[in-house]
Amino acid sequence: MPVQLFEGKDHAAAYLQYRVAPRELISRIMSYMEKGTPNQFKLAVDVGCGSGQGTILLAPYFTKVVGTDISLAQLEMALTQSNPPNISYRQSLAEELPFASGEVDLVTAMTAAHWFDRQKFLLEADRVLRPGGCLALLSYTMDMELEYGDVSDTLSDICKEFYTLLLPYRDPHIGSSSLKIYSDMFESCSYPDKEWNECLRVKRTLPLNGYIGMVQTFTPFQKLLQKDPAEAERLSDDMRNKLLSAMKASSPDADVTVVLKFFYWLARKP
Ligand SMILES: C[S@@+](CC[C@H](N)C(=O)[O-])C[C@H]1O[C@@H](n2cnc3c(N)ncnc32)[C@H](O)[C@@H]1O
């Protein structure tokens, strides 16, 4: 049974609004691909594409890009973006991709593979990839940091406190460390040409409320929201107030810089 925690329309809308599109990683993926086969790339598939903010970044490099996801709510939201004409979306399981064997140049999963049946997905990615095609899996740790004037450490501590309170709501499918999930997947990939990369710090400056909106898209927060909406609201209000007070700012529209710590791995099918 797939994990289906992404069906809510509000959750999908928040995804599109708040989740970070990992631009910096796309250029790294493309350099890795070009090293192996500097050809015209025909087809990329972004598995677990959600609302498509990562999928769309692949458009300039491929004749065709297909975002796939199990959640219709997420796919509907992806269709509301201004998608280039070479992008399309399909509902499908990560473990049963709707592509012929050997037809895909690149399979990506952005902040998504930890939700899949990982061994089945790796086999399925191997089936659809052409020889020389690449697999790119990326995600980031939940312990994002904030930068703001000379109170960055204080803000990051307040955020850590919040993440710790959310830990009991992490889904058992993920356990306590997504980094470990990805490194286990990396170890189990038999392709000889592969590389692991940890701690690529990606920064985005956005209003404090945008950061809080992003954290609220995380599944532990969504779980708490379902279980106890008042407590979820109290926790996020408390975090907002503590952050504002440390920043000596009066409005949550004040800009902060969010630092996300991405890790990713790339592999080329022999
Ligand atoms: C955390 S979201 C990431 C979305 C997007 N890639 C991003 O970067 O923001 C994970 C996505 O994976 C999808 N998903 C989870 N399990 C899946 C499965 N077994 N097959 C296909 N999609 C799945 C969810 O519906 C959700 O949209």
Q: Is 241 helix (H, G, I), strand (E, B) or coil?
A: helix
**CA separation for the pair 223, 177 (Å, rounded):** 18
63-67, 176-180, 257-261 — which is least confidently predicted?
Answer: 176-180
Confidence of residue 8 (pLDDT cuts 50, 70, 90): low
| CATH classification at residue 189 | 3.40.50.150
CB 71 less than 6 A from any atom of ligand 1? yes
Question: Is residue 143 over pLDDT 90?
Answer: no
**CA separation for the pair 36, 217 (Å, rounded):** 36
Cα–Cα nearest to 2, from 125, 99, 112, 156: 112
Per-residue confidence (pLDDT) for residue 162, from 0 to 100: 93
Report the percentage of the chain scoring pLDDT > 90.
Answer: 76
The pTM for the full model equals 0.92
Question: Is residue 38 over pLDDT 90?
Answer: no
Q: Is 62 helix (H, G, I), strand (E, B) or coil?
A: strand
Do 144 and 152 form a contact (C-beta atoms < 8 A)? no
- At residue 84's C-alpha, the angle toward residues 219 and 70, to 5°, is 30
Position 118 in a domain:
yes
**Mean pLDDT along residues 100-128:** 97
Position 4 in a domain:
no
**Mean pLDDT along residues 71-93:** 95
Position 3 in a domain:
no
Cα–Cα nearest to 47, from 101, 117, 140: 117
Full residue range of the structural domain in which residue 170 is found: 9-268
Phi and psi angles of residue 23, each rounded to the nearest 5 degrees, phi first:
-55, -45
**CA separation for the pair 172, 260 (Å, rounded):** 23
Confidence of residue 261 (pLDDT cuts 50, 70, 90): very high
CB 74 less than 6 A from any atom of ligand 1? yes
Q: What are the tens digits of pLDDT across the range 216-238?
A: 888 889 899 989 999 999 999 99
CB 243 less than 6 A from any atom of ligand 1? no
CB 202 less than 6 A from any atom of ligand 1? no
Position 121 in a domain:
yes
Cα(112) to centroid of ligand 1, in Å? Answer: 5
- For residues 5 and 78, the model is more confident at 78
CB 214 less than 6 A from any atom of ligand 1? no
Per-residue confidence (pLDDT) for residue 37, from 0 to 100: 74
Position 233 in a domain:
yes
Position 2 in a domain:
no
Per-residue confidence (pLDDT) for residue 20, from 0 to 100: 72
Position 235 in a domain:
yes
Per-residue confidence (pLDDT) for residue 35, from 0 to 100: 86
Question: Is residue 92 over pLDDT 80?
Answer: yes
Per-residue confidence (pLDDT) for residue 22, from 0 to 100: 80
Question: Is residue 108 over pLDDT 90?
Answer: yes
Position 90 in a domain:
yes
- For residues 87 and 206, the model is more confident at 87
Question: Is residue 4 over pLDDT 80?
Answer: no
Q: What are the tens digits of pLDDT across the range 186-221?
A: 999 999 999 999 989 999 999 999 999 988 888 889
State which ligand 1 atom lies nearest to the alpha carbon of 54.
8
Cα(68) to centroid of ligand 1, in Å? Answer: 9
Which residue has its alpha carbon closest to ligand 1 atom 8?
Answer: 110
How many domains is the chain partitioned into structurally? Answer: 1
CB 116 less than 6 A from any atom of ligand 1? yes
